[in-house]
């Protein structure tokens, strides 16, 4: 009887350890999967948002990355798409460099909400003044270069809707101003 009890205790002990290890692996797998999905969503969605603000194109595609309530309330997006208030309305943006870094993210596998901290920057914007406004450049009223991007650090709230993550809120906690581009002097000599 003594040996049977030891054998059962050994078996139960190993089964509990095996179950705990499997549970940790499953939770780790889902954490990694959520982290990867959220990173891709943030980098692609925020880049598309910047593209829409800079060029006023592709705004319909934002519905794949953001919830409707956020898009309706996004002040930067509404200014960027405005024909009167957009700082980029006088420019044809041909290219830009977009940088996003994920500083922190957490999402339990069983929850439908996640939080993240990101830093967004657009250090370079290439573009030219629209033809109708070129006279304003020569008079000094309008810069020949597009204005710098106002990036920053954001607290992001994401929600899972029907198995897909979407950005639900952005709270800017720090503003990062890129240096204003200046024309390089012409070579002499």
pLDDT in tens, 135-153: 888 787 888 889 999 999 9
Q: Which domains does the chain have, with CATH numbers?
A: 2-177 (3.10.450.540)
Evaluate if residue 182 carries a pLDDT over 60: no
Helix and strand element counts for the chain (H, E): 4, 4
Task: pLDDT band for 168, please (50, 70, 90 cuts).
Answer: very high
> What are the tens digits of pLDDT across the range 52-67?
999 999 899 999 999 9
The burial of 182, by beta-carbon neighbours within 10 Å (0-12 exposed, 13-18 middle, 19 or more buried), is given as exposed
The burial of 159, by beta-carbon neighbours within 10 Å (0-12 exposed, 13-18 middle, 19 or more buried), is given as middle
Of 117, 132, 107, give the one whose Cα is nearest residue 172. Answer: 117
Of 57, 55, 53, 130, give the one whose Cα is nearest residue 91. Answer: 130
- Specify the DSSP element, H or E, that contains 168: strand 164-177
* Alpha carbons within 13 A on the beta-carbon side of 91: 24
Task: pLDDT band for 49, please (50, 70, 90 cuts).
Answer: very high
């Amino acid at each position: 009887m003594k040996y049977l009890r030891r054998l059962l205790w050994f078996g139960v002990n190993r089964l509990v350890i095996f179950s705990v290890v499997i549970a940790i692996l499953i939770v780790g797998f889902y954490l990694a999967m959520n982290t990867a999905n959220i990173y891709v969503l943030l980098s692609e969605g925020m880049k598309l948002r910047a593209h829409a603000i800079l060029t006023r194109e592709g705004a319909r595609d934002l519905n794949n990355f953001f919830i409707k309530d956020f898009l309706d309330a996004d002040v930067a997006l509404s200014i960027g798409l405005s024909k009167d208030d957009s700082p980029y309305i006088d420019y044809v943006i041909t290219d830009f460099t977009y940088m996003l870094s994920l500083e922190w993210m957490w999402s339990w596998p069983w929850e439908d909400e996640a939080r993240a901290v990101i830093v967004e920057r657009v250090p370079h914007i290439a573009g030219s003044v629209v033809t109708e406004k070129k006279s304003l450049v020569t008079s000094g009223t309008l810069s020949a270069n597009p204005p710098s991007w106002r990036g920053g650090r954001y607290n992001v709230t994401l929600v899972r809707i029907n198995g897909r993550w979407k950005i639900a809120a952005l709270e800017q906690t720090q503003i990062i101003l890129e240096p204003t581009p200046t024309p390089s002097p012409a070579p002499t000599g």
